[in-house]
Every structure is written in structure tokens, then in C-alpha cells.
Amino acid sequence: MFEEFEHLNDAELANFSTMKIGGRANWLIFPKNVQELKKILKICHEKEIKTFILGNGSNVLFDDAGFDGAVICLRHFSYLRSNDNEKFKKNKKREKRLKIKNQQENFENEENQMPSKKQQRNRKIQKFKRGQKCRKNVQKSGFFDAIFPPLKLCNKPIWRVELNNRTRCVEVGAGINLFSLNMQLAKLGLSGLEFCYGIPATLGGFLVMNGGCFGHEICEIVEEVQVLQDGKILWRTRDECDFSYRHSNLQNCVVLGAKLRLLEEKSENIVQNMNFFLEKKRASQPCDLPSLGCVFKAANGVSVGKILDDMGLKGFCIGRAQVSTKHAGFIVNMGGATAKDVTELIKFLEVKLLEAGVKAEREIIVLPSQI
């Protein structure tokens, strides 16, 4: 039925979720562009096939019985365009110049000699000092916070990025993953997204969930979101997306891309920021085991992970699903966990939280096999 599109029949969903759990879906389809996407949705509508739009599966728990329908993944929607062509041309020229310079240097190095041990040591010291200086900048003078002062978890986030002569706008596809987007923006010298470096999500999924961390949310840098709704391509302004804490009204449409408002900054500073946030994540989260991030939203601004930790539930298991020993807000797959293990563990935690007077709302999406 979907022969003309890139697709998999009887696709194993566990391979498309960061939890590594899930049965099979009848079809997993990868449209190349909006025209293909529209055609696929039309076929599904006519044949009454259920659809599910997938980002990187970093917030979706698939059912053990899989999904009776078509999962549509927008990974080919991964473009990055600047509305400021001059800036991009300048960057491209700079990149080209740097490439030629590097090639020349490499050539000279190969030609002449390997750096001496003393030179190697000096370079290492310089690199370390540079790193220290940048870390100090980030931590002490709060370089990043100077751009985006941390927000409190609140229902109505405030528009933070003021328009000035350092502001630049880029148009980005929904299927691009945040690792790659961060790397590309760093190369272009555009700052604002570093806080989410290390989150295994696509931009589309992150927009739908209004994802965030360290006091920041993606909506802070959103100018407009492009959506496909009822067969029409529309641009929704930031206000029309109704962003609030881990919420938007984008669930009921397909996000195609977005315009992001960023600030010019030196690439090396951006990379330092990215590493800073990545390290913070690595230090506090179980990045080495399959998970879906935090299972619950913060309750009245308090991290549910912290509450579960205080209740001594770190390490508690049902089957092969475990409350992470590193961060009690995460449930990890210790290898071979089923969706049933995870949902039973979530229900158990919900009961415990209710007993403690906390009404926890789920952040993850549990997708039943039949919808």
C-alpha cells in the first residue's frame, strides 16, 4: 500500500524508542517531503488506518503488542535555513578559508615534523587553560544566563530573547535531532539552544512537548511553528502554540518545522556551553541505560524524582524495569523490560505518590496498540 514511499512493513518499534521496548507496527513510513506526507495521511484517512507521528521516540512507551496502524517518522525533515543569507554566506566563506588553512597546516605538519613532546605539552596546557577560562565564564559571570536568565517552572513562560543587532533567525525542519542541530548552530555561531544539548529528541517532538531543562524551555526561542493541519500548511506564532510547562497545542497536528530566534556568539563559547550542559546531564542522569527521561512532570514546581528519592524508591524494580539508582525520576530498562513492567511500575509509583499527597502527572506518552 505504501510502496512508493520509504517504509518498513511489520517494523519493530523497540528500535525506534530510546526505551528499547515495543512490539511491531504494521507500517513505519519515512516521508521525504510534505507532498509525500500529505499523500500518506490521505491514504491512511481513506483506508481508516490509525496514524502516529514519531520523533525520536525519546518520550514514547510503545505497547508490547506494537501498534495497529502506521507510524510516520519525519526524520527526513532535517533542513536548516537562515533567513539571514548574508550571515550564512559569510560563514560558508569563513568555513572554506578555515578548511584551506587546516589543510595547509596538516600538509606542513606532515611535511615537516610531528610536534615535539614539549610542544604537545604546551598545547595541552593551553587547551586546559582555555577550557578553564570558558567554564569560569559560564559558571561565574553566567555567560549563558546573561542571555537567557533562568526561568522558574511556571505555566506561562516569558518571551526572553529580545530583538537586537545580535539576533538571528533560522528555519529548521521538525525531524532534525537536537545533537545535530546544536552542532550546526555552533558552527554557524548561533547561540540559544545549548541548554538541551544531550537530549535525544527531534526538534518536532521537543516543540510538541515544550521540552526544557535547567530552567529553560524551547518556547523561549520559538518565533513561529509550521504545521500541517487538515491538509493545509500553516504558520502558528509562538502565542498561538499555547506553550506552557511541558505543554503545547501542537499535539493535534503535524509539526513540519519552526523558525527559531537565536543570538550571534563565538562558536567556541557555544561549544563550551554545550559541553557544560552535557556534563551536568551526565552527572545527574542515567545516560547509559535505555529510558524516556523523566516519567512525571514536576508537581507544583517540585521534581517528582526528588520526592521519589526521599521516599527511598531509588532502585525499586518491577520485572526488568527499575527506578533509576542515579535519578529517581527516570525508569530504566535493565535489559529485557516489557511495556507491562514499565506501566506496572508507573502505576505503583503513582499510588505511592498519592499516598504522600502528590498528584503526579505523566510526562511520557504510553501508546496503546489500538487507538
Ligand X SMILES: Cc1cc2nc3c(=O)[nH]c(=O)nc-3n(C[C@H](O)[C@H](O)[C@H](O)COP(=O)(O)OP(=O)(O)OC[C@H]3O[C@@H](n4cnc5c(N)ncnc54)[C@H](O)[C@@H]3O)c2cc1C
Nearest to 294 by CA among 362, 202, 368: 362
Cα–Cα distance measured from residue 151 to residue 145, given in angstroms and rounded to the nearest whole number: 10
**Using DSSP, how many helices (H) and how many strands (E) does the chain show?**
9, 17
When the beta carbons of 313 and 365 are compared against ligand X, the nearer one is 365
| The one-letter amino acid at 218 | I
Beta bridge partners of 3: none
When the beta carbons of 58 and 168 are compared against ligand X, the nearer one is 58
CB count within 10 Å of CB 317 equals 14
What minimum distance in Å lies between the beta carbon of 99 and ligand X? 32
When the beta carbons of 167 and 249 are compared against ligand X, the nearer one is 249
What minimum distance in Å lies between the beta carbon of 159 and ligand X? 19
What minimum distance in Å lies between the beta carbon of 51 and ligand X? 9
When the beta carbons of 169 and 199 are compared against ligand X, the nearer one is 199
When the beta carbons of 1 and 365 are compared against ligand X, the nearer one is 365
Cα–Cα distance measured from residue 242 to residue 290, given in angstroms and rounded to the nearest whole number: 31
| DSSP assigned state of 242 | T
Q: Please say whether the beta carbons of 168 and 262 come within 8 A.
A: yes
**Interface contacts to ligand X, rule CB under 6 A:** 18, 52-60, 74, 174, 199-202, 204-206, 208-209, 211-213, 250, 254-255, 285, 287, 291-293, 365
Q: Please say whether the beta carbons of 11 and 2 come within 8 A.
A: no
What minimum distance in Å lies between the beta carbon of 143 and ligand X? 21
Cα–Cα distance measured from residue 360 to residue 95, given in angstroms and rounded to the nearest whole number: 49
What minimum distance in Å lies between the beta carbon of 2 and ligand X? 18
What minimum distance in Å lies between the beta carbon of 58 and ligand X? 3
When the beta carbons of 109 and 284 are compared against ligand X, the nearer one is 284
Burial class (CB in 10 A: 0-12, 13-18, 19+), 47: exposed
Nearest to 272 by CA among 182, 174, 164: 182
